[in-house]
């Protein structure tokens, strides 16, 4: 009975000691406090949040930390850039909580869909107002990606890197279907599905029915989600062209030529493993897949081709990240310098081999020189479009998933599903 | 049985007698309470009041923006929101489907393990292993197991041929909820087992021996001696499991993401979607408050069920 | 008592326990086996239980990464301190609820219960703002303070039950001997509630060890990262690039300390109340 009290006392003593240590260490190295007097002081630390570190695939983060940031710091003595890697899936939550407590970093690499919502919160600095050289920088980038930074009359960021989805085909499936090239039109796509019957290979797979997933089909089919002025979705999303496009997909799905992953079955083989694994013949995906497969499935040689063309041509969706400056930054000038640095050839080209496409128009050719396999993506980007530039992009995805899934399951007609989705999207549009 | 009842009764009255007199201002208990309650008040209670306050507003997360006061609008909205009811139904399903197996199996395992044997420590570790594996990891693992080409389908067709092995578990509402509940039960049995094992240490062996001498059967001994002695633990376990089941989040978030099309959403995944996905913290908070209210009522009912008999005996 | 058990019962008991243990451990073994497998072999039908060829490459990569070993030590420190502080504070609170009568006792206890019920994600924003005002952001102290606060309700609730089951006669006897409340708590209640304390230790340690959302929210400095964050960073984004072998290797390493804590503390179950004080 006496043993416990004594050991408990010892524990208590340990706690006190440990707490003291923790307290000291936390007091000792708090960087924000150290550079409080900003512009005049010698040493400035810029904090930069992003999710370059893509799991075990650290190629991008390595280039940033070992090459680019040191180069910037060498050019700007006294400025230190501290890059903080945050898991992509959690970055949005962290940005949200940090906005609430006014604890944002200086610079953020944000998904392009997030810029309007954070601009709406008032936590981003409008770059078009504070950069004297704005016009010059804006003119250099692809207009499609620049547009993702536009909110309420101002630009709140600059595009950092871009990407788009193209059709990726497993060569073995091409052979099984008796084709020598990937399908280039909707008709060829459907025909390939028929040719694959009995082979055990599923024609197509995708991971959902959000805008990122269905918009390439809708645009290529000649339709859209709203009118150009963002005033209405009804009458646009439920157009005959869209009904035909979605019906094509639904028919393929009902004939088991599209994997159930598209309606959100997390149990379906994922696209990144099912394509090289021979389960799927084609997927739509981005340029980052190359580096993933080279590690995980050496020897797999995917075939890249443009999104199959429908009545509207071959039109894909723009993805990527923008770089933004937060109102919390106490070192605006240094941060703007870093943002300018991200637009340089050095920065842009260093990340190309890791699957990050450049946003600078003039660098397109050079990019293909460095990474010839990116040519299809570069070409596809010329016509690629943006998703809706509104604050509730996540809600649009939720609506599309919720309304289209029953259509794929055959519970409602495609027209009805699109009408329902359009009615709900109408409510989100600014009037 | 009578013997045992009397003893409990005696113990209860002694306990009551040992408490300090009420008339004096009791300073000692407050000294014991102070550190815990102070920390709790600052770090938990105060944030709770803030979260409740949010639920009455169209909450703008940035302090500089003004939030519009909505009164009970967010609550009314929840009641009219079909997705809220889907999520509530799924949460209820999960609570029922996980509670009973965890209590019954947890207690059964604890009883089996309570007897001393050389293999006992090993068994304990094995049964406890799922509890200490991180939720994130086991959720991903179970998604893997319940995948179309996963181990579960393999086992149900090749090992025990009861299905064709073609079930898309995560592609439908109820099969999805079954998969999620299976994870909950698997991960939770070790937890309730632990508490029951600890509680079984408090069962007076003298009483068990006396009952055996009286010729009571194994079941009678369990009913008359063991069960009353672990009543507090039983109450604790069921209350905690109900609370835990209503707060299920990570497993759903990672196994199905609430999909397909929100059909496996539970209250917390839906709340998370509203709060962090749509930045609608007002509505998210309202859902959280409703959830808390439901759980609070359930817990108080349970607390009453498990305490009543003891309380009735205190004169 | 053991001798009185028929042999058939003993055998049946072991068969049952073994079958149950297999179900509990099978998914875990699967995970371990994947951690010894090269990546491209991960998704196979039928699933492979024995890695072929087995490889320790995943473990080597994880250990060579630097971030994982450092995060491991960080988590070890944070979880240990959290456990000790939480046990001390919550056992005091529980003792008050179990052994004293005072005004508003049940009300206070119910308020404490509410703390268990409110979903933690909803408190993220208010707690984050609070932590900012308390100067606890980006520090391990911020983790410990909120972990202790978060574990209080559960531990108090658990330990109250254990303290209440200690026979009141013992308390009275000590009181007659002139022992004050602190002595009775420290010398009598704590040692007798040992199985409860051990249980609480195991839960609290694991809770702090495994916590993700709060650590992600308040920590920015990569050097301060805890293990769940480091593992999550390893897992990458969603479905796209998960290197299961790597993630499961890191997870297998992450389980070791919790198992150790479990083994160390569960032995306190053996000397229980009955063998200790009541008989003596």
Structural domains of chain A, ranges and CATH numbers in brackets: 40-164+319-381 (3.40.190.10), 166-316+392-426 (3.40.190.10)
B150 vs A: CB within 8 A: yes
Answer yes or no: is B14 within a domain.
no
Does B31 touch chain A if contact means CB atoms closer than 8 Å? Answer: no
Is residue C4 very low, low, confident or very high in pLDDT (cuts 50, 70, 90)?
low
pLDDT at residue C255 is higher than 50: yes
Instruction: Name residues 247-306 of chain A within 8 A of C (Cβ).
Output: 269-273, 277, 288, 292, 295-298
**Number of domains, chain B:** 1
Residue B24 is predicted with a pLDDT of 56
pLDDT digits (tens, 9 = 90+) for A398-426: 999 999 999 999 999 999 999 999 999 99
Q: How confident is the model over C225-229, as a mean pLDDT?
A: 90
Q: Is residue B29 part of a domain?
A: no
CB contact under 8 A, C84 and A54: no
Q: Which residue of C has its CA nearest to B186?
A: C24
Using CA atoms, how far apart are residues A400 and A388, in angstroms rounded to an integer?
A: 13
Q: Is residue B28 domain-resident?
A: no
Q: Number of B to C CB contacts under 8 A, please give it.
A: 281
Chains with ≥3 CB–CB distances under 8 Å to B = A, C
Q: Domain containing B99 — which CATH number?
A: 1.10.3720.10
In angstroms, the CA C72 to CA B136 distance is 17
**pLDDT for A79:** 95
pLDDT for the residue numbered B309 = 52
- Provide mean pLDDT across the span C8-14: 83
Helix (H) or strand (E) holding A132: none
Percent above pLDDT 90 for chain C = 31
Chain B nearest C-alpha distance from A347 (Å)? 31
Q: What is the predicted pLDDT for the residue at C62?
A: 86
| pLDDT tens figures, A113-144 | 899 889 988 999 999 999 999 999 999 998 88
Condensed to tens digits (0 to 9), the pLDDT of residues B166-201 reads 888 998 899 999 999 999 999 999 999 988 988 888
ipTM confidence: 0.85
- Asked if C195 and B201 come within 8 Å (Cβ–Cβ), the reply is yes
Instruction: Name every chain C residue with its beta carbon within 8 A of the beta carbon of A98.
Output: 128
- Residues in chain B within 8 Å Cβ distance of C117: 243, 246-247, 291-292, 295-296, 299
User: Residue A11: is its pLDDT beyond 50?
Assistant: no
How confident is the model at residue B161, as a pLDDT? 82
B236-290 confidence digits (pLDDT tens):
899 999 999 999 998 998 888 887 888 999 999 999 889 888 888 899 999 999 9
Q: If you measure CA to CA, which chain A residue comes closest to B145? A: A267
At residue C41, the pLDDT reads: 56
Residue B65 lies in a domain: no
List alpha helices for chain B, DSSP H. Answer: 2-18, 28-40, 46-54, 73-80, 82-114, 120-132, 135-145, 151-154, 173-200, 205-213, 218-221, 227-229, 231-246, 250-255, 267-272, 281-313
DSSP code string of chain C: -GGGS-HHHHHHHHHHHHHHHHHHHHHHHHHHHHHTS-GGGSS-SSPPSS-SS---HHHHHHHHTSHHHHHHHHHHHHHHHHHHHHHHHHHHHHHHHHH---TTHHHHHHHHHHHHHS-HHHHHHHHHHHHHHTT-TTSHHHHHHHHHHHHHHHHHHHHHHHHHTS-HHHHHHHHHTT--HHHIIIIIIHHHTHHHHHHHHHHHHHHHHH--HHHHHH---GGG--HHHHHHHHH-STTTS--HHHHHHHHHHHHHHHHHHHHHHHGGGTS-HIIIIIT-
Answer with the residue of higher pLDDT: B101 or B305: B101
Q: Work out the pLDDT band at B10, boundaries 50, 70, 90.
A: very low
Residue pairs spanning A and C at CB distance below 8 A: 141
User: Residue A164, SS3?
Assistant: strand
pLDDT (tens digit per residue) in A231-265: 999 999 999 999 999 999 999 999 999 999 999 88
Interface of B with A in 62-101 (CB under 8 A): 62-65
In a domain, B16, yes or no: no
- pLDDT of res. B295: 92
Q: What domains sit in chain C, N to C, each tagged with a CATH number?
A: 2-55 (no CATH), 73-238+257-278 (1.10.3720.10)
Instruction: Give the A window 350-369 contacts with C, CB below 8 Å.
Output: none
| B146 contacts on A by Cβ (under 8 Å) | 267
Average pLDDT, chain B: 84
Q: How far is A33 from chain C (nearest CA, A)?
A: 11
Q: Looking at chain C, how many residues does it have? A: 280
CB contact under 8 A, A296 and C40: yes
Beta-carbon contacts below 8 Å between A and B:
87
Contacts of C16 in chain B (CB under 8 A): 112
Q: How far is B261 from chain A (nearest CA, A)?
A: 4
B280 → chain A, closest CA residue:
A392
pLDDT band at residue A38, thresholds of 50, 70 and 90? very low
Model pLDDT, residue C241: 56
Cβ-proximal residues to C235 (8 Å cutoff; 6+ apart), any chain: A55, A87, B136, B140, C242, C243, C247
Is residue A53 scored above 80 in pLDDT? no
Interface of C with A in 133-152 (CB under 8 A): 137-142, 144
Domain assignment of residue B138, given as a range = 72-313
Model confidence at A18, pLDDT cuts 50, 70, 90, reads: very low
Q: Share the mean pLDDT of chain A.
A: 86
In a domain, B38, yes or no: no
- Say what the pLDDT of residue A410 is: 93
* Mean predicted confidence (pLDDT) in B125-154: 85
CA distance A104 to chain C (A): 10
| B188 part of a folded domain | yes
List pLDDT tens digits, range B67-125. Answer: 889 889 999 999 999 999 999 999 999 999 999 999 999 999 999 888 777 777 888 88
Q: Is residue B49 part of a domain?
A: no
CB of B170 less than 8 A from some CB of A = yes
Q: Who among A54, A96, A298 is closest to C236 (CB)?
A: A54
Is the CB of residue A84 less than 8 Å away from at least one CB of chain B? no
Stretch C255-274: mean pLDDT, rounded? Answer: 78
Rounded to an integer, the average pLDDT of C116-124 is: 85
Kindly tell me if the per-residue pLDDT of B5 is higher than 50.
Answer: no
The minimal CB distance from B260 to the residues A100, A121, A263 is found for A263
A16 has a pLDDT exceeding 80: no
Q: Which pLDDT belongs to residue B103?
A: 96
Residue C236 has a pLDDT of: 62
């Amino acid at each position: 009975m006496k043993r416990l009290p004594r050991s408990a006392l010892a524990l208590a003593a340990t706690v006190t000691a440990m707490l003291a240590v923790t307290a000291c260490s936390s007091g000792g190295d708090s960087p924000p406090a150290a550079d409080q007097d900003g512009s005049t002081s010698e040493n400035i630390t810029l904090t930069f949040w992003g999710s370059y570190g893509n799991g075990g695939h650290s190629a991008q983060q390595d280039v940033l930390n070992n090459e680019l940031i040191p180069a910037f710091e060498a050019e700007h003595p006294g400025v230190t850039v501290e890059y903080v890697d945050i898991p992509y899936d959690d970055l949005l939550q962290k940005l949200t909580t940090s906005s609430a407590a006014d604890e944002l970093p200086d610079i953020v690499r944000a998904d392009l869909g997030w810029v309007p919502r954070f601009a709406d919160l008032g936590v981003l600095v409008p770059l078009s107002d504070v950069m004297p050289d704005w016009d010059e920088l804006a003119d250099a980038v692809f207009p499609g990606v620049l547009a993702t930074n536009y909110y309420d009359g101002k630009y709140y960021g600059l595009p950092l890197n871009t990407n788009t989805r193209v059709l990726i085909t497993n060569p073995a499936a091409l052979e099984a279907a008796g084709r020598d090239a990937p399908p280039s039109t909707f008709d060829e796509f459907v025909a390939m599905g028929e040719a694959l019957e009995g082979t055990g290979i599923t024609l197509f797979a995708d991971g959902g029915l959000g805008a990122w997933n269905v918009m390439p089909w809708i645009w290529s089919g000649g339709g859209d989600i709203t009118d150009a002025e963002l005033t209405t979705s009804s009458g646009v999303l439920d157009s005959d062209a869209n009904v035909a496009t979605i019906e094509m997909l639904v028919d393929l799905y009902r004939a088991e030529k599209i994997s159930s992953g598209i309606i959100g079955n997390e149990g379906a083989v994922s696209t990144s493993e099912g394509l090289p694994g021979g389960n799927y013949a084609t997927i739509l995906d981005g340029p980052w897949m190359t580096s993933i497969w080279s590690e995980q499935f050496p020897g797999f040689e995917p075939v890249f081709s443009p999104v199959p063309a429908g009545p509207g041509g071959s039109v894909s969706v723009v993805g990527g990240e923008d770089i933004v400056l937060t109102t919390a930054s106490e070192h605006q000038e240094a941060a703007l310098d870093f943002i300018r640095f991200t637009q340089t050839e050095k920065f842009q080209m260093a990340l190309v081999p890791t699957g990050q496409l450049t946003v600078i128009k003039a660098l397109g050719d050079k990019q293909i020189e460095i990474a010839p396999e990116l040519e299809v993506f570069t070409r596809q980007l010329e016509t690629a479009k943006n998703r809706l530039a509104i604050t509730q992009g996540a809600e649009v995805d939720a609506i599309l998933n919720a309304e289209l899934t029953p259509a794929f399951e055959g519970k409602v007609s495609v027209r009805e599903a699109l009408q329902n989705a359009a009615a709900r999207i109408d409510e989100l549009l600014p009037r | 049985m009578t013997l045992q009842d009397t003893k409990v009764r005696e113990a209860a009255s002694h306990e009551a007698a040992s408490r300090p007199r009420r008339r004096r201002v009791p300073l000692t208990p407050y000294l014991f309470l102070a550190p815990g309650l102070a920390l709790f008040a600052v770090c938990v209670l105060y944030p709770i009041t803030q979260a409740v306050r949010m639920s009455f507003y169209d909450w703008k997360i940035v302090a500089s923006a003004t939030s519009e006061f909505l009164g009970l609008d967010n609550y009314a909205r929840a009641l009219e929101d079909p997705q809220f009811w889907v999520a509530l139904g799924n949460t209820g399903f999960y609570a029922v489907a996980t509670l009973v197996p965890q209590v019954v199996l947890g207690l059964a395992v604890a009883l089996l393990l309570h007897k001393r044997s050389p293999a006992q420590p090993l068994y304990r570790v094995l049964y406890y292993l799922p509890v200490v594996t991180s939720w994130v990891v086991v959720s991903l693992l179970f998604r893997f197991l319940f995948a179309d080409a996963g181990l579960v389908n393999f086992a149900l067709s090749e090992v025990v041929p009861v299905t064709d092995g073609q079930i898309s578990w995560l592609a439908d509402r109820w099969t999805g909820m079954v998969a999620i509940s299976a994870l909950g039960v698997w991960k939770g049995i070790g937890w309730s087992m632990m508490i029951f094992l600890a509680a079984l240490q408090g069962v007076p062996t003298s009483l068990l021996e006396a009952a055996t001498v009286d010729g009571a059967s194994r079941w009678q001994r369990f009913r008359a001696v063991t069960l009353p002695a672990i009543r507090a633990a039983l109450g604790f376990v069921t209350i905690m499991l109900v609370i835990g089941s209503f707060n299920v989040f990570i497993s759903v978030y990672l196994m199905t993401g609430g999909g397909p099309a929100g059909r496996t959403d539970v209250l917390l995944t839906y709340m998370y979607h509203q709060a962090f996905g749509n930045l609608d913290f007002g509505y998210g908070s309202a859902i959280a408050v409703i959830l808390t209210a439901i759980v609070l009522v359930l817990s108080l009912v349970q607390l009453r069920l498990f305490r009543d008999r003891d309380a009735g005996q205190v004169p | 008592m053991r001798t009185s058990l028929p042999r058939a019962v003993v055998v049946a008991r072991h068969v049952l326990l073994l079958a149950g243990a297999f179900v509990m451990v099978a998914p875990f073994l699967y995970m371990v086996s994947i951690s010894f497998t090269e990546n491209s072999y991960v998704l196979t039908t039928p699933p492979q239980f024995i890695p072929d060829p087995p490889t320790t490459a995943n473990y080597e990569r994880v250990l060579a990464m630097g971030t994982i070993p450092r995060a491991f030590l960080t988590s070890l420190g944070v979880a240990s301190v959290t456990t000790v502080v939480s046990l001390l504070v919550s056992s005091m609170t529980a003792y008050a609820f179990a052994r004293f009568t005072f005004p508003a006792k049940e009300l206070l206890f119910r308020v404490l219960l509410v703390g268990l019920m409110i979903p933690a994600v909803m408190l993220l924003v208010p707690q984050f703002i609070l932590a900012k005002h308390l100067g606890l952001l980006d520090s391990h102290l911020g983790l410990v303070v909120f972990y202790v606060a978060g574990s209080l309700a559960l531990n108090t609730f658990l330990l109250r039950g254990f303290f209440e089951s200690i026979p009141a006669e013992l308390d009275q006897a000590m009181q007659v001997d002139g022992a004050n409340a602190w002595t009775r708590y420290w010398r009598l209640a704590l040692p007798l509630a040992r199985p409860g304390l051990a249980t609480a230790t195991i839960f609290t340690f694991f809770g702090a060890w495994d916590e993700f959302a709060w650590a992600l929210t308040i920590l920015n400095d990569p050097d301060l990262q805890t293990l769940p964050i480091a593992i999550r960073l390893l897992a990458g984004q969603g479905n796209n690039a998960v290197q299961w072998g790597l993630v499961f290797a890191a997870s297998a390493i992450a389980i070791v300390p919790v198992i150790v804590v479990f083994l160390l503390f569960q032995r306190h179950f053996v000397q229980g109340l009955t063998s200790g004080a009541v008989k003596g």
